[in-house]
Amino acid sequence: MPVRRGHVAPQNTFLGIIIRKFEGENRKFVIANARVENCAIIYCNDGFCEMTGFSRPDVMQRPSSCHFLHGVMTDPGAVGEVERALLGSDERKVEITYHRKDGESKTVEEVMIGVTAPGWEEVMGVTGHSPWVGGGDEGDRSQPLGGRR
């Protein structure tokens, strides 16, 4: 079987810009290649790995719908919302319960945005995860990934 080297990512400068921008904001996020089947994850930051308990190699090339984080507490309706959001290019927020590698469950606010390059269709998807505990104040939630409200 041939050995795969590197990652499958669009060749543009957006990847580095996005990583630098969101790393500086202490976000937990993944970047997916929207031009391949299942929108495979091509980057996840240390915050995402810490939040989920999975290592970077465990996460890379998996679908950005994060099926590997689904468990008994994950609402099928929320899973459907995530999958529909990945098909579109509009910014979307979904509250979903994910399960860490050790089995602990946590409800997060997931924000998905599509990224396009001039003259291209959508080339990347960025999904940010903000821990959220019910009953909190709306002001406690972090800003959307794009910094817009």
Cβ contacts of 6 within 8 Å, gap of 6 or more: none
Q: Which residues pair with 124 in a beta bridge?
A: 33, 115
126 compared with 72, residue with greater pLDDT:
72
What are 33-84's pLDDT values in tens digits? 888 878 899 999 999 999 999 999 999 999 999 999 999 999 999 999 888 8
114 compared with 140, residue with greater pLDDT:
114
Q: Which of 60, 57, 33 is nearest to 125 (CA)?
A: 33
Sheet-wide strand order for 92-99: 41-44, 28-33, 122-131, 105-116, 92-99
pLDDT for residue 113 is more than 70: yes
What integer pLDDT is reported at residue 130 of this predicted model?
Answer: 77
Q: CA torsion sign, 93 to 26 to 114 to 43?
A: negative
**CATH superfamily name and code, 14-132:** PAS domain (3.30.450.20)
Count of C-beta atoms within a 10 Å radius of residue 108: 20
pLDDT for residue 101 is more than 90: yes
Q: pTM for this one?
A: 0.74
